[in-house]
Structure 1
């Protein structure tokens, strides 16, 4: 009798499924040593009785900003009582009361009393705890750009950085985190805030494919049983995540592909599992990229996708010439829109035959067409002039 390759109903492929949650803090932060050193330098004055310095952490999504801050905050909390680190998710907390309520709970260890509905009461509770411990406060405002449309960015920065003026506490530090590369959080501060907010800018560049592979290999080692995910499939997942410039895509892809294999009762993840999971994981990212394009850019992306799906010549010049059949468009405008699709991460322009370049989709052609189609489900090229 041969051994069955199928899992029993009580078996699993996951050694630790939490490893593939976005909130998981890994044992080792790969390729972020420079950023950790900069943050540690900003925290160091507080260990000598001073105040924490402020910073702006900027980088695309999935480049380790949040994980790096939460990891160093955990180490600080474990090693010293002189600094109280607080993490606030501004997507969920963007009003002053919500932000201070989150700070109060983390500083004091329990929620703000229901009676403490007035901000000054909550602030006084925070200040009292800081005085009792003679500790410095550092607040990470993750997705701080969410505070700008809420109209609370300058107000919160001003109040947090000037807590020391009303209560006898050390000056707080603020780590403002953003994934919006087109936004300068320092410039968004008004004059009254800039007088006390002098942040060091810390940049988080996208991980390379090799770096992503190392990160994913470590997660697989911790989170899956041996031989569940073959090395060639980790390579393929790393390539997909590198194309998205987001390591979280790779982490989620591993989780989804493994769940698919486990659901089928198989002991190994297959190429088909990765392919199916990739479309489910990358589709939301593609839709998000498409929504940031203009109508004309979406129409061009849709038309390129349909041309690619038909197996037509994808040389940039040939694509331009073929577009003339639908609408006369100037070469300058065409290249402007093509460059916009490149910056959005929907197409790549790769060297082709001779001196030309080939237009190559980063995503499945059908998925691009679906994400970029007009509401009537057709690919229309509007007036680009």
Structure 2
């Protein structure tokens, strides 16, 4: 089949390829009824002209936390005009201005000017609008640990939760979402005294639940009989091994693309075997090829470090010798590598103020060295 034939070929095994996107919101959201009910209970007072109950939403990666928040926010806004729900990814927005720019955009439909307008005016406009419209504001801060890493958490929580002190009638709440379940955050006393959250736990999915979720996703994404239960069982096993539902969803997408490229009407064993070879290295190569020079330099230092216990402090010394970069530049680069899921960082409770971070490589040295672009 030529390139033009591929581009113009009408037949497809995908009923809805978007069903395999990482941010796809399934209509039939399973196994999280008790968590959704707990979130609804937190929101209910806001619907009755009271203040929402704050919450900490806890669970490891890909356990449905973000989907639950987005689904419940969707339901609230479909049924009431008295609550504004704002979801914010704190990996991408770690500053006070960044967080409130997202809130501003959610309320007014456009972002505030980046320069020339003081933060206080943006904050005032948000809160005055909420009071004038008699609306409550609920802000979901996903991966909230990034706000603590950047030392901005206390101020942001204070700004949101104590708005009623400066703006009479302001009704605000925070849902703090944590994927790093070992992370222990500490807020200042004057923030903690008003946060007092309800804790909502998302346990990892069982094997049966994973099978059911992925089966449902195949019904949404593929036409009937494209994938057998036997192949799906193998994908479930791989998903369970990884502990990440997104691995299974991505495998379904890649298998579908491989089958379609061969003009096959169904996914078979060879497509799965090929997908298993491709999903890790291909996406890893793509990520590594997109790195800047500084990001590459930092990753190389991590990959080639001989001791298992690499701390951020030790890494900064090596990075500074190699690039002469400032600590803030180092920190931004390290956060980017974590955001790209090349590394994990874990607070050890040691060092100054217990802020020492351990750096953990998510891939083997061999995998990264094979995919690294050679100069």
Does TM, scored on the shorter chain, surpass 0.5? yes
Cα deviations across residues 230-282 of structure 1 (Å, max 9, x unaligned)? 11111111111112121111111101111111122211111121122224335
Matches within 5 A, 1:168-247: 168-185=168-185, 188-247=186-245
Q: CA deviation at 1:199?
A: 0.8
Alpha-carbon distance change, 157 to 206 in structure 1, aligned in 2, over 3 angstroms: same
CA distance in 2: counterparts of 1:87 and 1:282, whole angstroms = 29
What are the within-5 Å matches in structure 2 for residues 260-271 of structure 1?
A: 260-271=258-269
Q: Secondary structure at the match of 1:261?
A: helix
Structure 1 position 165 matched with structure 2 position 158:
no
Match of 1:69 in 2: 69
After TM superposition, give the deviation of residue 371 of structure 1 in Å.
Answer: 1.1
| Partner in structure 1 of residue 255 of structure 2 | 257
| Aligned 1:206-355 pairs, distance under 5 A | 206-282=204-280, 295=307
Is contact 1:38-1:202 (8 Å) kept? yes
- Map of 2:118 onto structure 1: 118
CA drift of 1:7 comes to 12
* Contact persistence 1:7–1:267 (CA under 8 A): no
Residues 255 and 69 of structure 1: CA distance in aligned 2, closer, same or farther (over 3 Å): same
Does the 8 A contact of 2:127 with 2:170 survive in 1? no
Partners of 1:252 and 1:54 in 2: CA distance? 33
Partner of 2:19: 19
Alignment of 1:25-64 (within 5 A): 25-64=25-64
SS at match of 1:275: helix
Kindly name which structure, 1 or 2, has the bigger radius of gyration based on alpha carbons. Answer: 1
Structure 1 residue 294: deviation in Å?
A: 8.8
CA distance in 2, matches of 1:103, 1:281: 36
**1:56 to partner: Cα distance:** 0.8
Q: Give 3-state SS (helix, strand or coil) of 2:57's partner.
A: strand
Distance 2:245 2:369 in 1: 35
Q: Is the 8 A contact 1:19 1:222 kept in 2?
A: yes
Q: How far apart are the structure 2 equivalents of 1:8 and 1:230?
A: 28
Q: Which moved more, 1:105-114 or 1:223-232?
A: 105-114
For the Cα contact (< 8 Å) 1:108–1:129, is it kept in 2?
no
Counterpart-to-counterpart distance in 2, 1:237 and 1:374: 22
> Separation in 2 of the partners of 1:375 and 1:219?
31
**DSSP-derived class of the 1:222 partner:** helix
Q: 1:65 to 1:132 in 2, by over 3 A?
A: same
Distance 1:198 1:271, change over 3 A: same
Note the aligned Cα RMSD (angstroms). 3.0
Q: Is contact 2:135–2:171 with CA below 8 Å preserved after alignment?
A: no
Report SS of the residue matched to 2:110.
Answer: coil
Q: Deviations over 1:135-159 (max 9, x none)?
A: 1100000011111121111111111
Task: Give the Å deviation of 1:125.
Answer: 1.8
Structure 1 residues 376 and 202 mapped into 2: Cα distance closer, same or farther (>3 Å)? closer
Which residue of structure 1 lines up, in the alignment, with residue 364 of structure 2?
371
CA distance in 2, matches of 1:172, 1:260: 48
Q: After superposition, what is the alpha-carbon deviation per residue over 1:275-325, rounded to whole angstroms, capped at 9, x for unaligned?
A: 22224335679x99x98x994599xxxxxxxxxxxxxxxxxxxxxxxxxxx
Unaligned runs of 5+ in 2: 1-5, 289-298, 311-343, 345-360, 371-375
In the other structure, the counterpart of 1:327 is none
TM-score, normalization by structure 1: 0.71
Equivalent residues of 1:52, 1:173 under 8 A apart = yes
Q: Distance in 2 between matches of 1:114 and 1:297?
A: 40
Deviations 1:101-148 (A, max 9, x none): 000111222222456632111112211321232111000000111111
Distance (whole Å) between structure 1 residues aligned to residue 215 and residue 113 of structure 2: 45
Q: 1:116 to 1:222 in 2, by over 3 A?
A: farther
**Residue of structure 2 in register with 1:350 after alignment:** none
Q: Which 5+ residue runs of structure 1 have no aligned equivalent?
A: 1-5, 299-343, 345-367, 378-385
